[in-house]
Amino acid sequence: KVSDIILITFSCMHLADRLKSVIVLYRLNHCGVTDEGCAALASALRSNPSHLKHLDLSGNEMGVFGVKQLSDLLQDPLFYTFYFIIAVSISSPCIFNLYRLCKCGVTDEGCVALASALRSNPSYLRELNLSGNKLRASGLNLLSDGLKDSHCKLETLWLSYCGVTDEGCADLASALRSNPSHLRELNLSGNKLGLNHVNRVLELKSVIVPYRLRWCGITDEGFVALASVLRSISSHLRELNLTGSNLQASGINLLSAGLKDPHCKLETLW
């Protein structure tokens, strides 16, 4: 872990050499990693991709080029061929299980690169954290193009404090309905979700197991929708986080109507 150290380009290149050894988890959050540093890291991972499973680059303003360098790494056919040769004994080979890019200034161009990685065949990305990036409707629309692809195997998606809009929720819901078999966790904390937002996301009620809606400003109408999901006979909702929501008595009553239903399978409520 080398977090909280400001890395100049030379330092990133030095660390890139270290990546050629056996490393499972690598944290570089808030390290000032630049586009050139990302290029060095991507090059190192291509030289020996068999061990790294987790890469955390949170809090680095990498820019479009940096995001693209790492996204290209996830879909390089030659890279996969080499990887399969050296990892033939691994039961579930993957390059990145966990990909953290929170507060990295990801732009629309970065979302295009990530969507391309999600669409790649085969796609190994299982967890993607984009929290704190102001994706806007356009960014989420671009990302949704990758999420709806049948090759996408993403299981966990964090979009907290991303400025998710009504339009963005519609794109997200549409994409995940198109390819619902893998996503198991969705985090939309910190997005001001009105009734339309909540209803659109709750259309995914048969997909999501942990469901995080912290500090989302949910109204009574939103709690009606949540209660409906809890009462659903097909509900897979096991964890619900409503921290920071101004429930008041009316919201509690509405939510309780769903909790007392025999079809409710909720195990954890925050």
- Tell whether 157 is covered by a domain: yes
Q: Torsion angle of alpha carbons 138, 103, 42, 149, nearest 10°? A: -40
Q: At what angle do helices 195-202 and 220-231 cross, to 10 degrees?
A: 10
Q: How far apart are CA 71 and CA 129, in angstroms?
A: 14
Residue in the structure block whose two tokens are 């964890």: 239
Three-state SS at 240 = strand
DSSP string, 113-160: HHHHHHHSSS----EEE-TT---HHHHHHHHHHHHTSTT----EEE-T
Long-range contacts of 249-256 (CB under 8 A, 24+ apart): 250/220, 250/223, 251/218, 251/220, 251/223, 254/220, 254/223, 254/224, 254/226, 254/227, 255/223, 255/226, 255/227, 255/230, 256/227
- Tell whether 103 is covered by a domain: yes
Residue 53 CB contacts under 8 Å (≥ 6 apart), including other chains = 24, 25, 94, 96, 97, 98
Confidence category of residue 245, pLDDT binned at 50, 70, 90: confident
List, for residues 3-17, the tens digit of each pLDDT value. Answer: 444 444 444 445 455
- Tell whether 195 is covered by a domain: no
Question: What's the pLDDT score for residue 62?
Answer: 67
Confidence category of residue 212, pLDDT binned at 50, 70, 90: low
Residue in the structure block whose two tokens are 């984009």: 130
- Tell whether 79 is covered by a domain: yes
Secondary structure letter of residue 30 according to DSSP = T
List, for residues 148-165, the tens digit of each pLDDT value. Answer: 888 888 888 888 888 887
The total of structural domains in the chain comes to 1
Q: Is the pTM of this model over 0.85?
A: no
- Tell whether 2 is covered by a domain: no
CB distance 195 to 219 below 8 Å: yes
The fraction of the chain above a pLDDT of 70, given in percent, is 58
List, for residues 16-42, the tens digit of each pLDDT value. Answer: 555 444 444 566 766 777 777 778 877
Q: Supply the CATH number for residue 57's domain.
A: 3.80.10.10
- Tell whether 106 is covered by a domain: yes
- Tell whether 82 is covered by a domain: yes
Question: What's the pLDDT score for residue 203?
Answer: 61
Q: Which domain holds residue 110?
A: 9-183
Q: How far apart are CA 104 and CA 161, in angstroms?
A: 13
- Tell whether 248 is covered by a domain: no
